[in-house]
């Protein structure tokens, strides 16, 4: 804009030309003879000059001396010089700015191109391979060592003997210790528990806490050079069909770190569990179902997703000749909650009625009906066969041979279901209503759990 203004101003200014500039003596470049002839005719020269002045006056305004000074002052040239100088510096700064901008754009474009190349460049490993590499060092072997009699020498001396092997997962690190979550049945009855890391380093573990009803146990070992722990996924967000990868030590230490892959086959499965191997189910575990291969020794190991995060602890499988690919894992959300309690308190204290119960369906129901006059419509429930002194049941007025059919509004059809309602739905200090039958009549009792 400054350049345009400058030129417009220069064009619009009044153009003045001094008359004296046109009255200077003519110079003739002719031969002497012609010059002499011309000199003899002064009147003709003056006439021509007058004619020339008339032509000039038709296009040129002749200012007086004052107008000349005002029209073309000396300061106008200085101002123009300054304008031109300013214009020159402006162009210089503009060019420098443009060059700097181009340089910055080039640098930024090279940076973004590098980032884009890094993001787009594919990894040499698949997503599952990356997940396994990320997690494999967090899974350890857990060896249950118990003392057994030396039958060959028939002495009372005992020697430690490896009873079984399972797996465990490092889930917590402190300044001194690494904490491991595993199944209770993996360490049940152990005299000594040995943990073998992925680098074959061995440590003797101590038990921090156990819980038979959830089949969970927490161990700890010296931290040493352990620097990593597993990350937990939200098991509530797991989808059927999602990738599931099992990591553990199936069969023996020789197969430590084995990996099998499948999918999540089902959620919220209730699976009956026999803890004491008496052939009777003691509890119902809430588990995830997977078709990833789970074998003896995988118990307590990790079931991870393809992000390398824990979605469950492998716990059991259905082992029948005609059954394939049905394994179960304790969901990671439950694992996390139980691990915190066991790590802090060593055990989970649950409400207890103080009763010994038996499934109604396990008894001769006709004999029971005859003894307690049980209505024909009642064919499921739990029968009280014993009551502890000063227990919640005794304070509530319950007696042996009472048949419990409900806790609050939740039906109780079996001993397993009774325990699940009491352990999962209730807590110490809760007030509950117990519905039961006594001598053919339905009754209700109020109790405070302790």
Question: Are domains 137-222 and 355-448 of this chain identical in fold?
Answer: no
pLDDT score of 86:
62
Read off φ and ψ for residue 161, nearest 5 degrees.
-140, 135
Architecture of domain 239-332: Beta Barrel (2.40)
pLDDT score of 252:
81
Q: Consecutive 10-residue runs of the chain (450 residues): their mean pLDDT?
A: 46 47 48 46 50 46 46 51 64 79 81 60 79 92 77 52 86 96 94 92 95 95 93 95 94 87 93 80 89 92 95 90 88 96 93 91 84 88 93 93 94 90 90 94 93
One of 138, 141, 167, 185 is an active-site residue; which one? Answer: 185
Contacts of 238 (CB under 8 A, 6+ apart): 264, 267, 288, 305, 311, 331
Can you give the C-alpha Rg of the chain in angstroms?
A: 51
Cβ proximity of 199 and 157 under 8 Å: no
pLDDT score of 399:
94
Which whole-number Å values give the CA distances from 369 to 363, 400, 414, 435, 441, in the listed order?
10, 14, 17, 18, 12
pLDDT score of 412:
93
pLDDT score of 223:
92
pLDDT score of 192:
92
206 a catalytic residue: no
pLDDT score of 283:
84
pLDDT score of 32:
45
Domain spans of the chain, in order of start: 137-222, 239-332, 355-448
One of 299, 332, 402, 414 is an active-site residue; which one? Answer: 299
88 a catalytic residue: no
pLDDT score of 425:
87
185 a catalytic residue: yes
One of 138, 141, 167, 215 is an active-site residue; which one? Answer: 215
Closest CA relative to residue 15, chosen from 75, 72, 74: 72
Instruction: Give the CATH fold of the 137-222 domain.
Output: Thrombin, subunit H (2.40.10)
pLDDT score of 30:
44
Cβ proximity of 265 and 326 under 8 Å: yes
Superfamily in which the 355-448 domain is placed by CATH: PDZ domain (2.30.42.10)
Q: Helix axis angle, 74-120 relative to 2-12, nearest 10°?
A: 160
């Amino acid at each position: 804009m400054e350049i345009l203004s400058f030129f417009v101003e220069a064009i619009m200014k009044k153009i003045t030309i001094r008359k004296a500039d046109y009255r200077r003596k003519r110079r003739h470049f002719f031969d002497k003879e012609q010059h002499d002839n011309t000199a003899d005719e002064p009147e003709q020269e003056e006439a021509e000059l007058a004619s020339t002045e008339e032509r000039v006056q038709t296009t040129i305004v002749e200012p007086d001396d004052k107008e000349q000074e005002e029209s073309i002052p000396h300061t106008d040239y200085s101002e123009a010089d300054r304008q031109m100088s300013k214009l020159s510096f402006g162009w210089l700064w503009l060019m420098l700015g443009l060059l700097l901008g181009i340089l910055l754009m080039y640098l930024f474009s090279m940076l973004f191109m590098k980032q884009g190349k890094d993001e787009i460049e594919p990894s040499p490993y698949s997503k599952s391979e990356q997940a396994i590499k990320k997690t494999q060092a967090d899974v350890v072997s857990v060896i249950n060592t118990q003392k057994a009699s030396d039958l060959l020498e028939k002495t009372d001396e005992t020697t430690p003997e490896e009873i079984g092997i399972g797996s465990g997962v490092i889930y917590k690190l402190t300044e001194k210790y690494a904490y491991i979550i595993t199944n209770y049945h993996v360490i049940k009855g152990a005299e000594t528990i040995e943990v073998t890391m992925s680098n074959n380093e061995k440590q003797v573990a101590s038990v921090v806490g156990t819980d038979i009803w959830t089949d969970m146990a927490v161990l700890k070992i010296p931290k040493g050079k352990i620097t990593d722990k597993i990350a937990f996924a939200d098991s509530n967000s797991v989808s059927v069909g999602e990738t599931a990868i099992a990591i553990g030590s199936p069969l023996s230490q020789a197969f430590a770190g084995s990996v099998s892959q499948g999918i999540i086959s089902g959620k919220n499965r209730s699976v009956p569990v026999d803890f004491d191997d008496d052939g009777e189910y003691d509890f119902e575990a809430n588990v995830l179902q997977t078709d990833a291969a789970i074998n003896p020794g995988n118990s307590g190991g990790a079931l991870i997703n393809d992000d390398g995060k824990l979605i469950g602890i492998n716990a059991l499988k259905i082992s029948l000749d005609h059954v394939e690919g049905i394994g179960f894992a304790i969901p990671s959300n439950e694992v996390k909650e139980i691990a915190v309690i066991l790590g802090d308190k060593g055990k989970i204290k649950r409400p207890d009625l103080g009763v010994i119960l038996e499934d109604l369906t396990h008894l001769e129901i006709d004999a029971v009906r005859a003894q307690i006059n049980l209505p024909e419509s009642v064919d499921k429930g739990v029968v009280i066969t014993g009551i502890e002194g000063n227990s919640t049941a005794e304070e509530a007025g319950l007696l042996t041979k009472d048949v419990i059919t409900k806790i609050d509004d939740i039906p109780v059809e079996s001993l397993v279901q009774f325990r699940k309602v009491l352990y999962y739905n209730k807590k110490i200090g809760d007030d509950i209503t117990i519905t039961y039958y006594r001598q053919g009549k339905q009754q209700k009792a109020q109790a405070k759990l302790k």
